Copies of this chain bind each other. A is one copy, B any other.
Amino acid sequence: MYYIFKKILIIIKMIKSNIIILGCNSSLPTKNFHPTSQILYMRENYYLIDCGEGTQVQLIKSRIKINKINNIFISHLHGDHYFGLIGILSTYQLLKRNKKLNIYSPKGLKNIIYEHLKWSNSKITYPLKFITLKSKKYKKIYENNDIKIYIIPLKHKIYTNGFLFKEKKKLKNLNIENVKKIKEIKISDYLNIKKGNNFIKKNGKKIPNNYLTFKSKKTLSYAFCSDTSFYPKITKYLKNVDLLYHESTYLHEKKKLAYNRGHSTSKQAAKIAKLSNVKKLLLGHYSCRYPNISKFEKEAKKIFPNCETSKNLKKYYI
Whether A29 lies near B158 (C-beta < 8 A) is no
B-contacting residues, A109-158, CB 8 Å: 109, 111-112, 115-116, 118-122, 157-158
Name A79's contact: one of B29, B30, B53, B90 (CB within 8 Å): B90
Instruction: Tell me the smallest distance from the CB of A258 to a CB of chain B, in Å.
Output: 16
- A267-290 interface bits toward B, Cβ cutoff 8 Å, 1 = contact, 0 = none: 000000000000000000000000
Whether A57 lies near B31 (C-beta < 8 A) is yes
Q: How far is the CA of A157 from the CA of B123 in the complex (A)?
A: 14
Whether B115 lies near A109 (C-beta < 8 A) is no
State whether the Cβ of A175 lies closer than 8 Å to any Cβ in chain B.
Answer: no
B-contacting residues, A96-115, CB 8 Å: 106-109, 111-112, 115
User: Hey, which chain B residues are within 8 Å of A120, CB to CB?
Assistant: 77-79, 108, 158
List 17 other contacts, CB 8 Å, given A31-B57, A83-B90: A27-B90, A28-B94, A28-B95, A29-B60, A31-B61, A53-B57, A54-B57, A77-B120, A79-B90, A79-B116, A79-B122, A107-B119, A108-B120, A111-B119, A112-B116, A115-B115, A121-B158
Instruction: Tell me the smallest distance from the CB of A261 to a CB of chain B, in Å.
Output: 11
Q: How large is the interface on A (under 10, 10 to 19, 20 to 34, 35 or more residues)?
A: 35 or more
Q: Known contacts A56-B29, A79-B90; is A109 also within 8 Å of B119 by CB?
A: yes
State whether the Cβ of A260 lies closer than 8 Å to any Cβ in chain B.
Answer: no
Whether B118 lies near A108 (C-beta < 8 A) is yes
Whether B77 lies near A27 (C-beta < 8 A) is no
User: Hey, which chain B residues are within 8 Å of A94, CB to CB?
Assistant: 27-28
The residue of chain B having its C-beta at the shortest distance from the C-beta of A114 within the complex is: B115
The residue of chain B having its C-beta at the shortest distance from the C-beta of A76 within the complex is: B120
